[in-house]
């Protein structure tokens, strides 16, 4: 069966049964009407602009691991501060450093990973769409909605792919959850609770950087969680933010947002003050026939490929896979935060699959994020 998608800003993108199919399904089932590529395809030429984003080196590590999909042609970092601080990272070793124009002039360049520091992401993405390049862009998408909307629309008009770096989309435990909801195991979803905290102690330099953004911790981190909520429930009717400061340094370092739906409520919590907060990151999805709890959402980076993720599945009624009751499910190990997402990008660019998170979805997530971070209601 091929799932069909609608692309409505009002209702997000939804397959015929309400939620995108799991990533392993999308990789195996090619969308009707697209050209099927054989295993001897030409690798996608890609470059990276920026190493200032905190996830930049992890993206480059993934791109280099995925050598059967990508040919990394070079890196651009116009800010000498970042070249000095991070240019020596092993992830960039033996790669050519370029200017933007040198990268854009590379014959056969098809895509760019946009990894500038937070304020410069949209400006760089704009340069890419103007040159007809696909992008993977790290989050968030700027502190105003209209520039992001204009950018997204331009990518859509040119039939170019824009993929936001929300890191939980391809997490195997999250994929299990999406699949369970898609199959109706949990019934009608009425509650989602998501938490993403960390502990930055007395890292004054980081807090000073974070305080530059009006929405603070919610603005920087909550997009990862709102992306999941929108995938499960679509566009919220209303988003109410609750932002708080634990110190006198002008930083909203902890916060809560409530996303309201006709028959559901979702809460999203983020902060940078919880001791061992990464171990407590979680997603809870409750429906009329069951629930799923994932905690933690991921293991430390050095354990990605070693420690499997687990989730708790509780069912009111049994199905063809699980009996009624509570089950501890081994969801498998991660292949890194971004490997599967970047494989997905390659297959979208080649035309093997439709984008499971098309522009309309990215726009709804950005709109809800800005509301959750207190930029507007």
Helix, strand or coil, per DSSP, at residue 157: helix
Q: Residue 363: inside a domain, yes or no?
A: no
Q: What is the pTM of this model?
A: 0.90
Helices (H) and strands (E) in the chain, counts: 11, 16
Residues 257 and 177 in one domain: yes
8 Å CB contact between 199 and 275: yes
Residues 141 and 213 in one domain: no
Residues 228 and 274 in one domain: yes
Residues 75 and 116 in one domain: yes
E strand map for the chain: 5-8, 12-15, 44-49, 70-76, 97-98, 109-114, 134-137, 162-164, 189-197, 238-244, 254-261, 264-271, 282-287, 290-294, 309-315, 325-332
Residues 151 and 178 in one domain: no
Residue 3 confidence (pLDDT) above 50: no
Say what the pLDDT of residue 33 is. 32
Q: What is the CATH number of the domain that holds 91?
A: 3.40.50.720
- Counted domains in the chain: 2
Instruction: Work out the percent of the chain whose per-residue pLDDT is above 90.
Output: 83
Residues 236 and 268 in one domain: yes
Residue 310 confidence (pLDDT) above 80: yes
Q: Residue 362: inside a domain, yes or no?
A: no
Say what the pLDDT of residue 42 is. 87
Q: Residue 314: inside a domain, yes or no?
A: yes
Residues 329 and 204 in one domain: yes
**What's the mean pLDDT in 35-58?**
82
Q: What is the pLDDT of residues 228-239, one digit of tens each?
A: 999 999 999 999
Q: What is the pLDDT of residues 77-129, one digit of tens each?
A: 999 999 999 999 999 999 999 999 999 999 999 999 999 987 889 999 999 99
Say what the pLDDT of residue 35 is. 36
Q: Residue 377: inside a domain, yes or no?
A: no
Residues 117 and 73 in one domain: yes
What is the distance between the alpha carbons of residues 162 and 153, in angstroms, rounded to a whole number? 10
Say what the pLDDT of residue 40 is. 52
Give me the domain span that covers residue 126.
5-167+340-356
Residues 257 and 351 in one domain: no
What is the distance between the alpha carbons of residues 94 and 97, in angstroms, rounded to a whole number? 9
- Mean pLDDT, the chain, whole residue set: 90
Say what the pLDDT of residue 301 is. 87
**What's the mean pLDDT in 25-37?**
35
Say what the pLDDT of residue 377 is. 78
Residue 335 confidence (pLDDT) above 90: no
Residues 67 and 16 in one domain: yes
8 Å CB contact between 347 and 355: no
**What's the mean pLDDT in 157-184?**
97
Q: What is the CATH number of the domain that holds 288?
A: 3.30.360.10
Higher pLDDT, 336 or 286: 286
Q: Residue 142: inside a domain, yes or no?
A: yes
What is the distance between the alpha carbons of residues 167 and 169, in angstroms, rounded to a whole number? 6
Residues 210 and 231 in one domain: yes
Residues 101 and 207 in one domain: no
């Amino acid at each position: 069966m091929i799932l069909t998608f609608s692309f409505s800003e009002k209702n997000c993108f939804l397959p015929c049964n309400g939620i995108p199919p799991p990533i392993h399904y999308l990789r195996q089932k090619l969308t009707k009407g697209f050209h099927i590529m054989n295993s001897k395809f030409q690798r996608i030429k890609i470059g990276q602009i920026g190493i200032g984003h905190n996830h930049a080196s992890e993206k480059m590590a993934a791109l280099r691991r995925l050598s059967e999909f990508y040919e990394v042609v070079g890196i651009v970092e116009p800010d000498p501060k970042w070249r000095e601080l991070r240019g020596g990272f092993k992830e960039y070793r033996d790669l050519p450093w370029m200017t933007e124009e040198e990268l854009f002039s590379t014959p056969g360049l098809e895509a760019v990973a946009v990894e500038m520091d937070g304020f410069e992401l949209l400006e760089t993405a704009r340069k890419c769409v103007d040159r007809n390049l696909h992008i993977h862009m790290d989050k968030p998408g700027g502190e105003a909605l209209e520039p992001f909307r204009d950018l997204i629309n331009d990518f859509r008009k040119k039939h170019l792919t824009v993929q936001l770096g929300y890191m939980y989309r391809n997490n195997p435990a999250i994929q299990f959850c999406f699949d369970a909801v898609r199959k109706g195991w949990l019934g009608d979803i009425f509650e989602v609770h998501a938490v993403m905290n960390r502990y930055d102690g007395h890292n004054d330099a980081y807090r000073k950087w974070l305080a530059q953004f009006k929405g603070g911790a919610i603005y920087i981190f909550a997009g990862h969680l709102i992306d999941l909520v929108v995938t499960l429930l679509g566009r919220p009717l209303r988003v109410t933010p609750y932002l708080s400061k634990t110190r006198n340094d002008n930083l909203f370092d902890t916060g809560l947002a409530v996303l309201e739906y006709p028959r559901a409520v979702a809460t999203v919590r983020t902060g940078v003050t919880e001791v061992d907060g990464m171990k407590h990151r979680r997603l809870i999805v409750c429906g009329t026939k069951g629930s799923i709890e994932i905690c933690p959402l991921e293991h430390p980076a050095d354990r990605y490929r070693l420690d499997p993720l687990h989730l708790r599945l509780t069912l009111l009624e049994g199905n063809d896979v699980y009996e009624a009751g509570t089950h501890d499910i081994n969801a498998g190990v991660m292949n890194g935060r971004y490997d599967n997402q970047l494989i997905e990008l390659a297959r979208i660019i080649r035309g093997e699959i439709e984008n499971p998170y098309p522009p309309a979805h990215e726009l709804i997530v950005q709109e809800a994020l800005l509301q959750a971070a207190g930029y507007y209601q």
